């Protein structure tokens, strides 16, 4: 029975690795490059006691704790402890993201494309697809563990030890494998790969937000979050291995649940029933209305998630303000008006970093939607349009327009939640103009990155995921630009870097004009390429 259920798992694994080779390599190089590269550079970037003291003071602010994670306050600070405090949460988040984007297409994506039905006509086991997807995740995260552990060993940071190096690598790889397994579980709940991906990303985002709130308010309880477990290990100073045990137990439970659900459901079905729509609807008369109708569940899910993320971040603004107002020396030498100015300036500096998070969230939403222009073509959905007198321009503009609108709406929803959350906890909330400035500043950079995905879909659809990779690189550059002391020209390699001072400063006219020109040229080239290509061109 066991042999029959998992028959041909090895063959399916080879197919997965061949299909996802580029994606796996890209994620592997990004994750290992960040982990090992920063380990080598941290001693150079923060040479001397004064530089380290300044960095520690920055990392212990509530804003940085919310973003990066908790930094211990009762331990002698070394390069290794600082490194682990900065990287363990952040890289666990990225490993989880990569694993979800690997596992869902390998399970629900393959089923949605009809590959599972085709292959099950042969001697392929009922659980073989799940097993192959999990093994693909296992190999990816296992190689990530080995490369990171060896890289940290060779980096030889001050205060590092072998146990800490391998524990850090194992925690990050374990987080990736756990969230990849959650992605496989989400694939059993719904019949659409798009919705399954949303469920997996929602679980990842919820874990991050829960960890953020607990780290700021009561960090001892952050074990309630899956992304709080790596922090509980106390890498390099406690080297507690119990979080690894928790990850393994949770992983087994999730995987068993996924297989049990897979055994119970029908092929091409999900445990969560899909509400049947009308057989005839005025919203199905064209590509735009049909896209809006079919995407409505994801549309509201992304907007709600963006608002919740904004609310959670906004809810810690009072802790940032307390740094100034609770300082006795500051109260003695600075007037109340000056204190409020200092609070505003501190929060605005935090917003320059936080606005990138919301912009990336909106960009990813737009890029994922735009990629469906190619995915829907391969599934045969677009043939229904082209069988009627509907031009390629109309189809292309419908997908691109809806993708851009969604990207902007998710950005706006996140900023609205941020404003409401901060207004609820602050005695003197930030003026609305700063949030409007963020939206107007990131409006065009978000559009440029979505158009980059349109260019890839039009000219090289097989490489369409590079749009998401480019966005991820932009996020890393903006996120670490101060810590890594990156030069301006490096930061400006991504559109976000052109507006890096927002909301401290308004975006200048030359930058706006340049981004508009780039956007228009990009749209023109993307449509030209899409008009010339075959629908199933790779």
pLDDT tens column, 280-319: 566 666 788 888 887 887 888 888 888 888 887 777 776 6
Residues in the chain: 538
pLDDT digits (tens, 9 = 90+) for 487-538: 888 888 899 989 888 888 888 888 899 999 999 999 999 999 888 876 655 4
pLDDT value for 319 = 61
Scanning 275-381, the segments in alpha helix (DSSP H) are 287-294, 296-314, 317-325, 328-333, 336-378
| Mean local confidence (pLDDT), 452-465 | 88
pLDDT of residue 327: 46
**Contact of 381 with 391, CB cutoff 8 Å:** no
Residue 182 pLDDT > 90: yes
Query: Would you state the pLDDT for residue 387?
Result: 72
Distance from C-alpha of 232 to C-alpha of 237, rounded to nearest angstrom: 11
| Cα Rg of the chain (Å, integer) | 24
Per-residue pLDDT averaged across 341-346, rounded? 69
**pLDDT computed for residue 174 by the predictor:** 94
By mean pLDDT, which of 24-33, 213-222, 331-340 is the weakest? 331-340
pLDDT at 322: 56
DSSP annotation of 241 reads -
As a whole number, mean pLDDT of residues 211-232 equals 84
Q: Enumerate the H helices of 60-192 as residue ranges.
A: 62-68, 79-104, 110-112, 115-119, 128-155, 162-189
Q: What is d(CA 357, CA 209) in angstroms, rounded to the nearest whole number?
A: 13
pLDDT at position 50 over 90: no
Q: How far is CA 415 from the centre of its chain?
A: 17
Q: Would you say residue 277 has pLDDT above 60?
A: no
pLDDT, tens only, 462-487: 888 888 888 888 888 887 777 667 78
CA neighbor of 59 nearest in space, from 85, 40, 84, 37: 85
* Mean pLDDT estimate for the chain: 82
CA dist., res. 449 & res. 467, Å (int): 7
Q: What pLDDT score does 213 carry? A: 80
Residue 4 has pLDDT above 90, yes or no: no
Within 10 angstroms of residue 4's Cβ, the number of other Cβ atoms is 12
The 10s digit of each residue's pLDDT in 91-116 is: 898 899 889 988 988 888 877 777 77
**Longest distance between any two alpha carbons in the chain, whole Å:** 79
58-59-63 Cα angle (round to 5) = 85
Quick check: 45 pLDDT over 70?
Answer: no
d(CA 97, CA 416): 25
Calculate ∠ Cα 57-60-63, nearest 5°: 115
Which pLDDT tens digit goes with each residue over 393-450?
A: 888 888 999 999 999 999 999 999 888 888 877 777 788 888 899 999 999 999 999 9
How far is 90 from 168, CA to CA, in rounded Å? Answer: 12
Buried b (16+ CB within 10 A) or exposed e, 10-31: eebbebbeeebeebbebbbebb
* Predicted confidence (pLDDT) at residue 335 exceeds the cutoff of 60: no
Euclidean distance between CA atoms 344 and 430, whole angstroms: 7
Q: Which residue has the higher pLDDT, 23 or 170?
A: 170
Please report the pLDDT score of residue 320 as a whole number. 60
Residue scoring higher pLDDT (124 or 434) = 434
Q: Determine the Cα–Cα distance for residues 256 and 374; give it in Å rounded to an integer.
A: 34
Query: Which of 106, 78, 98, 121 lies closest to 34 in space, CA to CA?
Result: 98
> What pLDDT sits at residue 129?
83
Mean pLDDT of 49-56: 71
Mean pLDDT lowest for which of 3-17, 182-196, 317-331? 317-331
Q: Which residue has better confidence, 456 or 326?
A: 456
> Between residues 273 and 175, which one has the greater pLDDT?
175
Q: Report the alpha-carbon distance of residue 63 to residue 42 in Å, rounded.
A: 21
Share of the chain above pLDDT 90, in %: 24
Question: Is the per-residue pLDDT at 332 higher than 50?
Answer: no
Token couple for 373? 């222009």
Tell me the helices (H) and strands (E) count for the chain, helix number first.
24, 0
Return the DSSP state at 488.
H
DSSP string across 158-217: TT--HHHHHHHHHHHHHHHHHHHHHHHHHHHH-S-HHHHHHHHHHHHHHHHHHHHHHHHH
d(CA 62, CA 68): 10
pLDDT at 483: 65
pTM over 0.85: no
């Amino acid at each position: 029975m066991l042999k029959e259920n998992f028959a041909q798992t090895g063959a399916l694994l080879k197919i997965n690795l061949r299909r996802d080779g580029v994606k796996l390599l890209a994620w592997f190089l990004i994750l290992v490059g960040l982990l090992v590269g920063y380990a080598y550079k941290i001693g150079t970037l923060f040479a001397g006691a004064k530089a380290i003291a300044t960095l520690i003071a920055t990392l212990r602010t509530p804003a940085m704790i919310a973003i990066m994670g908790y930094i211990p306050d009762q331990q002698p600070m070394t390069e290794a402890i600082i490194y682990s405090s900065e990287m363990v949460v952040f890289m666990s988040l990225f490993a989880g993201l990569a694993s979800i984007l690997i596992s869902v297409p390998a399970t629900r994506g393959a089923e949605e494309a009809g590959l599972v039905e085709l292959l099950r006509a042969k001697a392929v086991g009922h659980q073989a697809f799940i097993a192959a997807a999990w093994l693909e995740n296992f190999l990816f995260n296992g190689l990530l563990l080995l490369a990171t552990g060896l890289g940290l060993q060779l980096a030889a940071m001050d205060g590092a030890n072998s146990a800490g190096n391998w524990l850090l690598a194992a925690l990050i790889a374990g987080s990736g494998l756990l969230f990849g397994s959650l992605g496989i579980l989400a694939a059993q709940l719904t019949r659409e790969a798009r919705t399954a991906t949303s469920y997996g990303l929602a679980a990842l985002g919820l874990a991050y937000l829960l960890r953020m709130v607990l780290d700021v308010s009561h960090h001892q309880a952050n074990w309630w979050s899956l992304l709080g477990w790596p922090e509980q290990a106390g890498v390099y100073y406690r080297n507690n291995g119990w979080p690894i045990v928790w990850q393994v137990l949770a992983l087994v439970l999730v995987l068993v649940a996924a297989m049990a659900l897979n055994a119970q459901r029908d092929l091409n079905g999900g445990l969560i029933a899909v509400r049947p729509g009308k057989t005839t609807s005025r919203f199905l008369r064209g590509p735009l209305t049909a896209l809006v109708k079919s995407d409505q569940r994801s549309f509201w899910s992304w907007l709600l998630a963006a608002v919740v993320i904004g609310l959670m971040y906004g809810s810690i603004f009072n802790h940032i303000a307390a740094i100034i107002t609770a300082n006795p020396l500051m109260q003695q030498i600075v007037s109340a008006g000056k204190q409020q100015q200092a609070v505003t300036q501190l929060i605005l500096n935090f917003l320059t970093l936080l606005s990138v998070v919301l912009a990336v969230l909106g960009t990813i939403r737009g890029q994922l939607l735009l990629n469906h222009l190619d995915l829907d073509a391969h599934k045969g959905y677009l043939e229904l349009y082209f069988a009627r007198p509907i031009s390629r321009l109309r189809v292309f503009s419908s997908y691109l327009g809806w993708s851009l609108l969604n990207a902007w709406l998710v950005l706006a929803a996140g900023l609205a939640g941020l404003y409401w959350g901060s207004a609820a906890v602050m005695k003197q909330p930030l003026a609305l103009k700063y949030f409007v400035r963020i939206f107007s500043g990131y409006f065009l950079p978000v559009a440029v990155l979505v158009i980059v995905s349109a260019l890839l879909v039009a000219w090289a659809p097989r490489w369409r995921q590079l749009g998401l990779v480019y966005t991820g690189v932009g996020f890393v550059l903006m996120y670490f630009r101060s810590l890594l002391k990156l030069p301006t020209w490096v930061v400006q390699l991504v559109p976000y870097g052109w507006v890096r001072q927002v909301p401290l400063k308004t975006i200048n006219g030359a930058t706006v004009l340049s981004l508009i020109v780039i956007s228009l040229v990009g749209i023109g080239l993307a449509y030209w390429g899409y008009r010339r290509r075959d629908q199933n061109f790779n």
